[in-house]
Amino acid sequence: MSKKADKAAEQAEGKKAKKGKKGKSSGDGGAGPSVAAHPRASYQVRRAKGWGGIAGFALAGYFSYKAGVPTVDLGLRALIAGIVGYMLAWACAVTVWRHLVLAELRAALEHGTGPDPDLIPARAPEPAQAASPE
């Protein structure tokens, strides 16, 4: 290969290495309660997305068929409505579960016990501040 090609390959590898390092250091990821980390929430959000997509597809297909829409347009409308139903169900399910996860955290704190780490990944307790000798 030519020197130009070798130099271009080295620069590309250098850029990839820099991107990888930057992505790992930014943000603190799983520091607080999360809907995605909650086992029941993630399952039910996936389930809601599926049913939302199916319901949107079926309703749009049925109503388009009853309106006498040509088959190609019927299919296109049903697909678009399925996508919209999927996204709408996802947004609603995440909103509901966000409130439920926070309510579970509050209930666990009110009962005097810490949150169950298996159900709700909460922040790690910070070490107690030592009293200064002053």
Q: Between the CA of residue 40 and those of 23, 27, 83, 89, 97, what are the distances in Å?
A: 29, 25, 24, 16, 9
- Structural domain spans, the chain: 42-111
Query: pTM, whole model, 2 decimals?
Result: 0.60
Rounded Cα distance, 53 and 90, in Å: 10
Q: Between the CA of residue 47 and those of 20, 86, 87, 89, 114, what are the distances in Å?
A: 33, 10, 12, 9, 29
pLDDT tens across 91-106, in order? 999 999 999 999 988 8
Q: At what angle do helices 39-66 and 71-110 cross, to 10 degrees?
A: 150
pLDDT tens across 29-76, in order? 556 788 888 888 999 999 999 999 999 999 999 999 999 999 999 999
